[in-house]
Amino acid sequence: MRKKAREQEEKQGNLDLELERRLEWEYKNIEKRLREQIDGVQDLREHGIEPEEAEECFFFHDFDYCKDERRFDDVYILDGRTDRGRRLRLVFQDKGDRLARIFTGWELKPGKRGKK
């Protein structure tokens, strides 16, 4: 009887340890993704762009985009417009499932559109 109880306790202890490791791994992944998002937001703000303005370029107005040949396969350059009419260029990674990770962005000067 004691042997079975001990074995069950060991089994439960292994499951708890496995669960703890899995949760720690998940936490590190979430923390990494949040850090990436915060870095992107800080970089946008350093260029005078609010995250909401970048979203407007993707969702509410026509935009042009192309693959950024200098970077990895899933990185693109987007020229878009905000609700207030600011023209922005954004460099982003296509994460799939309609998700994008914006690396940086800046306001386009007149006459710069289409010159990538």
With a CB cutoff of 8 Å and minimum separation 6, the contacts of 54 are 44, 88, 90, 102, 105
In the chain (116 residues long), the average pLDDT of successive 10-residue segments reads: 71 74 70 60 86 87 85 86 93 84 88 55
CA of 17: how far to CAs of 6, 23, 24, 76, 85, in Å? 16, 10, 10, 42, 54
Nearest 5°: phi and psi at 74?
A: -100, 20
pLDDT for the residue 10 = 72
Is residue 106 within 8 A of residue 90, CB to CB? The reply is no
Q: How long, in residues, is the chain?
A: 116
pTM: 0.61
pLDDT for the residue 51 = 87
Is residue 83 within 8 A of residue 60, CB to CB? The reply is yes
